[in-house]
């Protein structure tokens, strides 16, 4: 349910009104003592403050009967106004003022410092699934979403997020596109995804970009806009259903190998650094099966050509991506060796 008109007034105008009322009472009390008792401005102000705050000090000067009546009126009105003001300000601070400001500042600091992250454009059905997978694998990411409710859901689930249009260059700069690892365009419509991909590609020619497409025409446009990969959820879903019907055991194995929830077996791509100890050797010479307990099921060359089930005498070159199958701890050791800069 949305906030009522009274709630909005309480949060926005209430504190201003309360402070103004308290200031008015203090000013009126000061003026009253000056006029009634003939005191100077400071003595009148001091008397007003100790009266309104009920600190219990004695009168700084003897009061006349009229002054006593005025003091009683000031107590009744001033104390109530002071309690109302302090209570209202405390409520605003506790329920939404200071904590939210501190949260926003922390949020901005995290956006300024996050690196090697993915930018997820859109937090609908596809975007939320992608974010879930990233969270399970502890991959940093930032969400750009125009819908406030969806963005709030993303933040509650632990995401960094910005409520904005993903195709705007200033927004992409704000979420650290210059430090990002990749961008996933999964906004609601094909047109929005095309614009988001185009803006990202202009800002970062080297960025890895994935676009979501609902039609064949959108697939072509996304590739022209600069997407490295274009994914059609409907096509993938249809192929998955057909494969499950025809080859259920194969599908079960692939799900086991690629699922982030599987702790016993994993499939990973390992990039071979120029100075790695494996660069320039064959698969047999690298002895990956015996040393790390992994199986090389494919090699993607620098020209994106894929070699499946490579022979033992196949050479491993710098820049290659090994597609390997093994236990998570074995894959981490292999990744460390592949990225080492010394031979």
Residue 288, domain CATH: 3.30.70.1450
- CA 122 to the chain's CA centroid: 12
Q: Write out the residue range of the structural domain in which residue 223 sits.
A: 114-237
Mean pLDDT of the chain: 84
Residue 127 within a domain: yes
Rounded to an integer, what distance in angstroms lies between the CA atom of residue 240 and that of residue 327? 25
Pairing of strands 208-212, 182-185: parallel
Tell me the pLDDT tens digit for each residue of 291-322. 888 889 899 988 888 888 889 889 999 889 99
Rounded to an integer, what distance in angstroms lies between the CA atom of residue 118 and that of residue 184? 7
Pairing of strands 118-121, 182-185: parallel
Residue 186 pLDDT exceeds 90: yes
Q: Is the CB of residue 283 less than 8 Å from the CB of residue 310?
A: yes
Q: What is the pTM of this model?
A: 0.62
> Do 87 and 177 lie in a common domain?
no
Q: Is the CB of residue 64 less than 8 Å from the CB of residue 33?
A: no
Task: Name the range with the highest mean pLDDT among 13-17, 217-221, 256-260.
Answer: 217-221
* Range with the poorest average pLDDT among 23-37, 96-110, 166-180, 196-210: 96-110
Q: Is the CB of residue 185 less than 8 Å from the CB of residue 211?
A: yes
Sheet containing 295-300: order of strands? 266-271, 321-326, 295-300, 306-308
**Average pLDDT, stretch 50-59?**
78
How would residue 95 be classed by pLDDT, with cut points 50, 70 and 90?
low
Nearest CA to 336 out of 263, 277, 260, 296 is that of 277
How would residue 236 be classed by pLDDT, with cut points 50, 70 and 90?
confident
Residue 207 pLDDT exceeds 90: yes
Domain of 59: which CATH number?
A: 1.10.287.70
Token pair 């016993």 is at which residue?
A: 264
Domain finish residue from 237, 260, 281: 237
């Amino acid at each position: 349910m949305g906030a009522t008109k009274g709630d909005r007034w309480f949060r926005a105008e209430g504190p201003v009104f309360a402070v103004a009322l308290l200031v008015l009472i203090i000013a009126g009390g000061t003026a009253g003592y000056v006029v009634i008792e003939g005191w100077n401005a400071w003595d009148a102000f001091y008397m007003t403050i100790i009266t309104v705050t009920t600190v219990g000090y004695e009168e700084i000067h003897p009061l006349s009967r009229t002054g006593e009546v005025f003091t009683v009126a000031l107590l009744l009105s001033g104390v109530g106004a002071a309690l109302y003001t302090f209570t209202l300000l405390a409520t605003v601070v506790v329920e939404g003022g200071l904590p939210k400001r501190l949260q926003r500042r922390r949020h901005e600091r995290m956006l300024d410092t996050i690196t090697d992250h993915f930018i997820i454009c859109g937090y609908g059905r596809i975007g939320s699934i992608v974010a879930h997978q990233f969270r399970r694998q502890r991959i940093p990411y930032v969400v750009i979403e125009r819908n406030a409710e969806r963005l709030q859901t993303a933040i509650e689930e632990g995401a960094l997020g910005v409520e904005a249009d993903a195709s705007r260059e200033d927004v992409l700069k704000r979420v650290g596109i210059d430090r990002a690892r990749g961008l996933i365009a999964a906004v609601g419509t094909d047109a929005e995804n095309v614009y988001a991909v185009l803006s990202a590609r202009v800002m970062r020619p080297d960025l890895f970009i994935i676009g979501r497409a609902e039609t064949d025409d959108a697939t072509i446009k996304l590739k022209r806009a600069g997407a490295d990969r274009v994914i059609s959820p409907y096509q993938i879903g249809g192929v998955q259903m057909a494969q499950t019907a025809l080859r259920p055991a194969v599908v079960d194995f692939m799900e086991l190998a690629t699922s982030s929830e599987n702790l016993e077996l994993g499939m990973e791509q390992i990039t071979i650094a120029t100075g790695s100890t494996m660069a320039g050797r064959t698969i047999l010479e690298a002895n990956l099966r015996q040393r790390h307990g992994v199986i090389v099921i494919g090699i993607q060359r620098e020209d994106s050509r894929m070699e499946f089930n490579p022979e033992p005498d196949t050479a491993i070159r710098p820049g290659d991506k090994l597609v390997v199958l093994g236990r998570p701890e074995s894959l981490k050791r292999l990744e460390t060796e592949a990225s080492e800069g010394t031979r």
